[in-house]
Every structure is written in structure tokens, then in C-alpha cells.
Amino acid sequence: MKNQDVKFTKDTYILAFAVCYRLNSPESFKICTTLREEALIKGDILPRRASCFAVALALNQNQVEKAMSIFSQIMNPESVTCANLNILIHVRSNMLENLIKILQDNIDRNVSLFVKRHMFSEEVLAKVREKLKDSPTLRAKFDEVYGKLHINGQVTICPLDAMLCHVPRDKKPNTLLLKKRTVSQRTLQPLSQSLLTE
């Protein structure tokens, strides 16, 4: 597409970054980085989902600084996927005290029951537990926070891959576009076949 001078849309960026993430190779990371830099040079605004794929790919390729850089440029990181990626970035960069504080803040927020809270993947929390095995004090704090997250229902078995690949539902149902009018609005009588063919 790039060779044919086709303009990338938001969905195209998401698809391209998702493919690079699935390939998970140094070459795909290079392609992803190049696409991202070209988009920023052009002034295109990358969708959050595309940036999340780029962050996850950078983490998979052990490029923690690059992942932090990409994550810091996400406009609105208030999503479940971003929260889990932020936790992974903190794990990989050994910012363990901040990690515990982030998890604690998610528990202590005084929000209404109607406000959606962040969900944390069991897979991500297992990586946190693995990282904290050498620090008994932080491990004790984490276990306490982990228990509270479970009580609040903020732990999900959904892996990070599934969160990244989740396709959000449209706000508008598309089925209304498919329905054709079969009754006259003026007379409320069925439309004749000749009118339907026109």
C-alpha cells in the first residue's frame, strides 16, 4: 500500500501494527517503528490501539526504552489495555515501588459503582509476582494489593493478547442501514413492487 501511495487510515495503522505484533520479529519491529515515525512526520495521529500494539511489540523485543517512549505519547492511556501495558513497562524497567503504588491507587480510588474500573490480567499480575520473588517486603505488599483487586473483581483471566486484539463494538448499529422501507410513510400502505425497484 505504501508503494502505491495509498493514504493510511486509522484502521490501516491498527492492522499494520497488529500484523507486526503477531510476527514478533526484529524485522517486524523495525517495520513498525518506521511506520510509526513516518506517521508522526506526516502529522497523522495514531490511534491508541495501534500504539498499544507498538508498545507490546517493543516489550516483546526487549526494547523497554522504546516502549516507554511510545507509551508516553499515547493521548488517553485510560483503557484496560493501556493499564496492563503500563504495569508490564514498570516490571521490565524495575520500577517496582511505583508499580505497587499504581496498583494500590486503582484500589483506593473513590469512584461510583457505575464507573468502570481497570481490570488487570492474571497473566500480567503473574509476571509482577515473578519479578517480586526476590523482594519479600514488596511481595507482601503486592499479595495484599492482589487480594484486594480480586475482592473488587478487578482481575481477569483474559490474557494481554486478547485485550490487544479485542475489537470494540460500534456505537451505532449497522443493521438499521440494511433495512429498507416497505411501507409508505404517508399512507401506511405496503409499497408496490414497482416503487421498490426504482
**What pLDDT is recorded for position 33?**
95
Q: Are residues 58 and 8 in the same domain?
A: yes
Query: Same structural domain for residues 65 and 98?
Result: no
Residue 67 sits in the same domain as residue 138: no
107 within domain boundaries:
yes
Please give the pLDDT value at position 170: 63
- Sorted by sequence, the CB contacts under 8 Å of residue 99 that are 6+ apart come out as 87, 90, 91, 128
Does residue 53 sit in the same domain as residue 123?
A: no
Q: Is the pLDDT of residue 176 over 60?
A: no
In which band, very low, low, confident or very high, does the pLDDT at 157 lie, cut at 50, 70 and 90? very high
Per-residue pLDDT, 126: 95
Predicted TM-score (pTM) of this structure: 0.80
Helix axes 48-60, 64-72, angle to 10 degrees: 170
- Model pLDDT, residue 88: 96
Question: Where in the sequence is the domain holding 160, given as residue range(s)?
Answer: 93-166
Any domain includes 198: no
More confident residue, 4 or 154: 154
The set of cell numbers assigned to 107 is 484500589
Same domain, 111 and 62: no
Confidence of residue 152 (pLDDT cuts 50, 70, 90): confident
Q: How confident is the model at residue 171 (pLDDT cuts 50, 70, 90)?
A: very low
One domain, residues 16 and 45: yes
Of 25, 52, 77, which closes a domain? 77
What rounded mean pLDDT belongs to the chain? 85
In a domain, 196, yes or no: no
Task: Count how many Cα atoms sit within 13 Å of the Cα of residue 80 in the half-sphere of its side chain.
Answer: 20
- 38 and 68 in one domain? yes
Grid coordinates standing for 118?
A: 481497570
- Note whether residue 6 is domain-resident: yes
Taking only the tens place, the pLDDT of each residue in 94-103 is: 999 999 999 9
Rounded-to-integer distance, Cα 192 and Cα 128, Å: 67
DSSP state of 183: B
Q: Tell me the pLDDT tens digit for each residue of 51-65.
A: 999 999 999 999 999
Residue 181 located in a structural domain: no
Instruction: Please write the tens of the pLDDT for every residue from 6-49.
Output: 678 888 999 999 999 999 999 999 999 999 999 999 988 899 99
Residue 72 lies in a domain: yes
Total number of domains constituting the chain: 2
- For residue range 116-133, list pLDDT tens digits in order: 778 999 999 999 999 999
97 lies in some domain: yes
Same domain, yes or no: 72 and 101: no
Residue 1 domain-assigned (yes or no) = yes
Instruction: Mark whether 61 and 98 lie in a shared domain.
Output: no
Residues 64-81 have pLDDT tens digits of 999 999 999 998 888 899
pLDDT on residue 194: 47
